[in-house]
Amino acid sequence: MHVKLLGTAAGGGFPQWNCACPNCWRVRQGSFPGKARTQLQVAISPDDESWFLLNVSPDIRSQIASDSAFQPRGKPRGTPIRGVVLTGADLDQVLGLLMLREFQKFSIYATAAVERTLREDNSMFAVLNQVPDQVTWIRISPGHLFHLSSGQGKASLSCTPMSLGPHFPGYISPHRRENIPPGETLLGLTIQSESGRRLGYFPAVPAITPALLEELAVADVVLFDGTFWEEAELNRIRGSGPGARAIGHVPVSGSDGSLQLLSGIKTRKIYVHINNTNPMLDESGAQYQHVRAMGWEIGEDGWEFRL
Ligand SMILES: [Zn+2]
């Protein structure tokens, strides 16, 4: 399995258009000791011919343009992107679907809850199904393995979703909220290559449970929620705002943060979905040094590896 990190920031990217926090400010000044980042986008391939996107970021257009692996070859229209796996219906996870609306055939793997939230409540997503042979929606559910295949008899990846919910997107209506299974609203993924090696994709984790730790322990590489450094980060930067956990992200630091609670997981651990306010983005800072000393890596746009 070939894995590419096309983007590694949380929603808004880094720098974020309307943010003048110390991080964003210094990036614009050209004085930040660290890297700018686009919004989280991971792509996986069983054979370097067909690619599958894990969610679709609002930055997908520039992310495709920056890497020839995702560009059309030969025919007047085409793409190596065979499908998209959705782990939730937050805007940062799905907005990029609207950038892939040019009558291109591909598959979308989603739970019934996510599909209904998108297609029944948001008529814009009908642009993906304007003609009969456009996008195919494939139903997935937590705990049930499915395959991402390049085609009949070709290489494939097996993918097992795990429920991390409930987590509802900010735009959801009260009616929809009450009428979808809450356990289908947010997923993590364990993806296994034909060689048996495993990638854990957990970029939005509201709570670290024993079941989650068991799942992480069997992965060879884990891409994990690095959104916030601390619980009250948004409040500290903006003067107001919800706590990290209230919006679905266990923070990195603290005795009940991911650094501490995952310290027994001895696999390769990479933080992704990093919010622009997170001080660990500053490579000259104590937080960055601490994370690295604890054995973690902090994902950057353009990284890739094979499993
Ligand atoms: Zn900022």
Q: What integer pLDDT is reported at residue 4 of this predicted model?
A: 98
Q: Distance, CA 111 to ligand 1 centroid (Å)?
A: 33
Q: How confident is the model at residue 75 (pLDDT cuts 50, 70, 90)?
A: confident
Residue 5, pLDDT score = 98
State the distance from the centre of ligand 1 to the C-alpha of 198, rounded, in angstroms. Answer: 33
- Name the band, by pLDDT with cuts 50, 70 and 90, for residue 74: confident
Q: Which sign, positive or negative, has the C-alpha torsion 297, 248, 279, 86?
A: positive
Q: Ligand 1 centre and the CA of 24: distance in Å? A: 4
Percent of the chain clearing pLDDT 90 (strictly above): 94
d(CA 144, CA 70): 28
Q: What is the pLDDT of residues 91-123, one digit of tens each?
A: 999 999 999 999 999 999 999 999 999 999 999
Sequence-distant contacts of 141-150: CB under 8 A, at least 24 apart = 141/111, 141/112, 141/184, 142/111, 142/183, 142/184, 142/187, 146/109, 148/44, 148/46, 148/52, 148/82, 148/83, 148/85, 148/109, 148/191, 149/46, 149/50, 150/46, 150/47, 150/49, 150/50, 150/82
pLDDT at 73 over 90: no
Looking at the chain, the whole-number percentage of residues with pLDDT higher than 70 is 100
Q: How many CB atoms lie within 10 A of CB 57?
A: 27
- With bands split at pLDDT 50, 70 and 90, how would you rate the model's confidence at 237? confident
- 182 C-alpha to ligand 1 centroid (Å): 31
Distance 278 CA to ligand 1 centre (A): 8
Phi, psi (rounded to 5 degrees) for 153:
75, 5
Residue for token pair 């959104």: 227
Q: Is the pLDDT of residue 198 over 90?
A: yes
CA 216 / ligand 1 centre spacing (Å): 30
pLDDT value for 174: 95
Angle at 141 between CA 135 and CA 147, to 5 degrees: 60
pLDDT band at 178 (very low <50, low <70, confident <90, very high): very high
290 C-alpha vs ligand 1 centroid, how far in Å?
Answer: 21
Q: What is the mean pLDDT of the chain?
A: 96
Q: How far apart are CA 250 and CA 260, in angstroms?
A: 11
Ligand 1 centroid – CA 302 distance (Å): 21
Quote the ligand 1 centre to 13 CA distance (angstroms): 9
Which tokens is 78 given? 């085409």
Cα 141 to ligand 1 centroid, rounded to whole Å: 35
pTM of whole model > 0.95? yes
pLDDT at residue 68 above 90?
A: yes
According to the model, what pLDDT value does residue 151 have? 83
Residues in the chain: 307
Helices (DSSP H) in 4-98: which residue ranges? 22-29, 60-65, 91-94
Is the separation of the CB atoms in 188 and 205 below 8 Å? yes
Distance from the alpha carbon of residue 285 to the mean position of ligand 1, in angstroms: 16
45 CA to centre of ligand 1 in angstroms: 33
DSSP run (H or E) holding 271 = strand 268-272
User: What does the pLDDT average to over 55-66?
Assistant: 97
Say if strands 156-163 and 146-149 run parallel, antiparallel, or are unpaired. antiparallel
CB 8 within 8 A of CB 301: yes
C-alpha distances in Å from residue 32, one per residue of 27, 121, 155: 5, 41, 42
The CA 62 to ligand 1 mean position distance, Å, reads 21
pLDDT-derived band at 238, boundaries 50, 70, 90? confident
